[in-house]
Structure 1
Amino acid sequence: MVHYSRQDIIRMVEEQDVRFIRLQFTDIFGIIKNIAITPSQLEKALANECMFDGSSIEGFARIEESDMKLFPDLNTFVIFPWRPQQGKVARLICDVHTTNGESFAGDPRRVLKDVLTEACEMGFTFNVGPECEFFLFFNDEQGKPTALSHDEGGYFDLEPIGQGEDVRREIVLALEDLGFEIEASHHEVAPGQHEI
């Protein structure tokens, strides 16, 4: 795991021409939310001073207690590889806190940390191995998705170089640029179905 300081992040943002930093957090359904800031607001964010209206986030707070703060986890800083040209975009995953600085009990990240601490105290370790599966479909003449898959391949089929192979390749390379270790990618059982 990489360990960054505030100065490391400020330096990387300057040196890499990062124009936007996404401060990410999740709602109670696991949906990623974010606030995009510019480098001029980065020091404020790193001092845990960026606020948002929690009453608009499902399961967070009532309108009368809506102000929440984002506390960035410095070790989650990454520059997105799919914006390599001028004006790069980076992200920091954040913990949600109340305005008095207390960790918000409804923050899914906090809940996960609490469960992991409890599991560790019981002698358990936590390992994650995601298996992402998805389908690729053609678009119609108006650019809208159809139910027509782009291939008739099956499980582990070696398809000719085409849309599925190209899409999986781009996803794998982007994930590796983000620091993920990719075990394999291949065609799945159904037509148009893929796995990474």
Structure 2
Amino acid sequence: MTTREDVLNYVEDEGVKFIRLGFYDLFGKQKNVSIMPRQLNRAFEKGVAIDATQIFPGCTHEGTDLIIKPDPSTMVLLPWRSMENGVIHMVCDLYTIDGKPFEADTRLLLKRVLQSVASQDLEVLMAAKNEFYLFERDENGNPTKKPFDHGGYMDVAPLDQGENIRREICLILEEMGLDPHKSYHQSGPGQNEIDFHFSDPLQAADEASLFKWVVRTTANSNGLYADFSAKPLEDQAGSSMHVQVRFVEGLKKRDAFIAGLLKYLPEMQLFMCSSPLSVKRLASVNAPGRFDVSDTVRNVMVRIPPLAKDVIEVRLPDSLTNPYLNFALVLIAGLQGIEENLDLPKNADRPVASSLKEAKELVQTSQLIEQTLHPDLVNAYLAVEEEC
């Protein structure tokens, strides 16, 4: 694991000129501050102050500032920058002015949930499978809804025009030390998918968050626009982020974990599908419209891959949503199933919420959400607009 001293030595030895300190709002949108190398040691020790009212306007922390401190284990070199002006990136944790963890931070939430995972004698790895669209830009550089190609599921060139873009994305990810697994054209015109290998859940969430930035940056450098929204084209497939969990230890608890997902994911739908377009995606023919499980049918909410019985795949989250929060909620629901020693239901078939209003009502009556999520986080999602 990369340490603080490793980062400081790397910056000095390699002549790094800029350090980007990244962090995420409650919805998983990346923010960043850039500092010079001479400020790095201070950033590790005391952090960098940010105006929290701009990033977390509804939160109830003391004062108007928060402190971000870089996590040295997340250091990556940005390969699209020349080494003459080298730039490294680190993900930051959030603190209040008095040095306490910022309780509404979703990365902190995932860290704490992972402590509960360990207490259950479980060892899990996680991975994300992201779908996104590539659209052309107009003569002024503005995004359009014109797909980059008209290929279909796993098509090849010339129908698939995104192959070179995906290859470039995967090579950049590898240069950054990330681990893409496979890539291919998805079913919608201009729609693509890139999957990751399994890794530690916190690392997997960091990678899933950085992934969107890499995709957007690469698309932009090729004159394109990358769209991660739930359903950018009315009559085409929506985009999701499938969350996979692999049981390294504790496979005997898998059924109780799945039972927890089926029981509690409905209460969590708002956080994983938080826009009006989410409702349209879940209403599509190919989307998982009911909370069910199968090891033979692919299009279900909780899927057990036929060749990997130690893996489960949750297909509820949109591709645009917060990976830290999605990963944490999947684990919270599964752990609750283990805690209650739930049996896997024989006929799990509960429909998804048909509107954001209904999803919000489920949140407001959920004891599990009340017990596990900070009120500021819950209120931020309850305040999302219900109409496009």
TM-score when normalising by structure 1: 0.88
Partner residue, 1:145: 143
Residues 1:128 and 1:63: Cα distance change in structure 2 (over 3 Å) = closer
1:103 and 2:63 correspond: no
Answer yes or no: is 1:195 the counterpart of 2:179: no
Amino acid at match of 2:158: P
Give the secondary structure class of the aligned counterpart of 1:43.
helix
SS in 2 for 1:130: strand
Residue 14 of structure 1 pairs with residue 8 of structure 2:
no
Question: Hey, what's the Cα distance between the residues in 2 that align with 1:163 and 1:89?
Answer: 31
Aligned to 1:88: 86
Displacement of 1:63 in angstroms is: 8.5
How far has the Cα of 1:92 moved from its partner? 1.4
TM-score, length of structure 2 as denominator length: 0.47
How much has 1:134 moved relative to structure 2? Answer: 1.5
Secondary structure of the 1:185 match is strand
Instruction: Classify 1:88/1:161 alpha carbon distance in 2 versus 1 (closer, same or farther; 3 Å).
Output: farther
Q: Name the structure 2 match of 1:132.
A: 130
Compute the displacement of 1:64 (Å): 5.9
The SS at the match of 1:91 is: strand
Q: How many residues align?
A: 194
- Secondary structure of 1:103's aligned partner: coil
Structure 1 match to 2:111: 113
1:161 offset after TM fit, Å? 9.4
Q: Identify, as 1 or 2, the structure richer in helix.
A: 2
| 1:44 has 2:39 as partner | no
Q: Residue 359 of structure 2 corresponds to which residue in structure 1?
A: none
After the TM superposition, which of the residue ranges 115-124 and 104-113 deviates more from structure 2?
Answer: 115-124
Tell me, yes or no, if the aligned pair for 1:55 and 1:62 is still in contact at 8 Å.
no
Provide the rounded CA distance (Å) in 2 between the counterparts of 1:60 and 1:52: 15
- The aligned counterpart of 1:164 is 162
Query: What is the SS of the residue equivalent to 1:33?
Result: strand
Shift in Å at residue 6 of structure 1? 2.5
Q: Deviations over 1:43-100 (max 9, x none)?
A: 1112133222222222574596122222221111111111134212111111111222
Counterpart-to-counterpart distance in 1, 2:137 and 2:30: 26
Compared with structure 1, are the counterparts of its residues 146 and 100 closer, same or farther at alpha carbon in structure 2 (3 Å cutoff)?
Answer: closer
Measure the CA separation in 2 of the matches of 1:99 and 1:173: 39
Gaps spanning 5+ residues in structure 2: where? 195-388
Q: Does 1:176 align with 2:193?
A: no
8 Å contact kept, 2:61–2:96: no
Deviates more, 1:93-102 or 1:157-166: 157-166
Higher strand share: 1
1:160-190 per-position Cα deviation (integer Å, ceiling 9, x unaligned) = 3974111111100011112222221111112
Aligned-residue sequence identity (percent) comes to 39
SS of 1:173's partner is helix
State the Cα deviation string for residues 90-111 of structure 1 (Å, max 9, x = none): 1111111122222121221111
Query: Following the alignment from structure 2 to structure 1, what is the Cα–Cα distance between the partners of residues 159 and 109?
Result: 44
2:116 aligned counterpart, secondary structure: helix
Give distance in 1, aligned partners of 2:48 and 2:147.
Answer: 44
Q: What is the deviation of 1:19?
A: 1.6
Q: Distance in 1 between matches of 2:2 and 2:22?
A: 17
Q: Which amino acid aligns with 1:42?
A: L
- CA–CA distance in 2 between the matches of 1:75 and 1:172? 21
Q: Given the superposition, is the C-alpha separation of residues 60 and 113 from structure 1 closer, same or farther in structure 2, using an over 3 Å criterion? A: farther
Secondary structure of 1:129's aligned partner: strand
- Whether the 8 Å contact between 1:60 and 1:106 is mirrored in structure 2 is no
1:54 and 1:121 mapped to 2: Cα distance?
33
Alpha-carbon distance in structure 1 between the residues aligned to 2:150 and 2:81 = 32
Do 1:54 and 1:60's aligned partners in 2 also have CA atoms closer than 8 Å?
A: no
What is the SS of the residue equivalent to 1:123? coil
Structure 1 range deviating more: 8-17 or 73-82: 8-17
Matched residue type, 1:45: A
Which residues in structure 2 correspond to 1:67-82 (within 5 Å)?
67-82=65-80
Counterpart-to-counterpart distance in 1, 2:121 and 2:5: 36
* Structure 2 counterpart of 1:15, one-letter code: D
